Amino acid sequence: MASVDLVIPVYNEEHVLAGSIARVLAYLDGHPEHQWRIVVADNASRDRTLEVAREQEAAHPGRVAVLHLPVKGRGIALRNAWLTSDADVVAYMDVDLSTDLGHLQALIDPIAAGEVDVAYGSRLGRGAVTNRSFKREFISRAYVFILNWALGLKVTDAQCGFKALSREAARALIPLVRDNKWFLDSELLWVAQRNGFRLREVPVRWTEDPDTRVKIVQTAIEDLQGIWRLRRHPVPKASGRARRGR
């Protein structure tokens, strides 16, 4: 049995947090093959998100934990949650649960079994099923094309909010990732690939959240700046022996 910390990064999500935690806990109850813990990583919310998270922590001792960070940035939330975790597997998914919970096993099991080091969801690969606007679909596919062309990153989707790493991979790779915002996802996969860690793509069923907090234009600009930075600088090397992909 592997211990798994499933991180849910949040910013001003008081209206959905309790319901999302209830749905995730209900799903996890049906999968006792792992020792699960939900970690709510609140990064500088200005509403009652932290209070709601604390209420959930008190209602579900040992099953829900809260990490509060005084600054914004999904990357900062994940970095702190993952590097302070002692779980065998660390993962994350977005609070809107756009990715079907039924894919959690395909994400976690290969890492728990020692078959791969990093697993990531894909909304664009073969077998994926999505319900999203044409605008977001086009932007995602254009972004992946740029990643493949500019960085040689061999993925079909880098920004899906559904990823997992072994504890060893997280501790080796996260310190090498410089971005603290949305580009962290892409940079993490690039650093892992270049260091020879074993990656596995998980096609997912994904439904767009109309209340998304992602600022598409601003995020796109930051992503392009991140790609340019990675092209200009040599790939950092992970400490220890990198595991070669299959």
Query: What is d(CA 165, CA 153) in angstroms, rounded to the nearest whole number?
Result: 18
Could you tell me how many residues make up the chain?
A: 246
Do the Cβ atoms of 10 and 96 come closer than 8 Å? no
Q: Give burial (CB, 10 Å; 0-12/13-18/19+) of 113.
A: exposed
Partners of 42 in the β-ladder: 10, 68
Residue 185 dihedral angles phi and psi, to the nearest 5°: -55, -50
Candidate list 185, 209, 211, 223, residue with the active-site label = 185
Which residue blocks in the chain are alpha helix, DSSP H?
17-29, 49-59, 74-83, 104-112, 134-151, 167-173, 184-194, 216-232
CA-based nearest residue to 188, from 213, 220, 214, 165 = 165
Structure-token pair, residue 59: 């209602």
Structure tokens at 228: 């340019």
Residue 158 tokens read as 């880098």
- Please indicate whether residue 42 is annotated as part of the active site: no
Q: Which of the residues are catalytic? A: 185
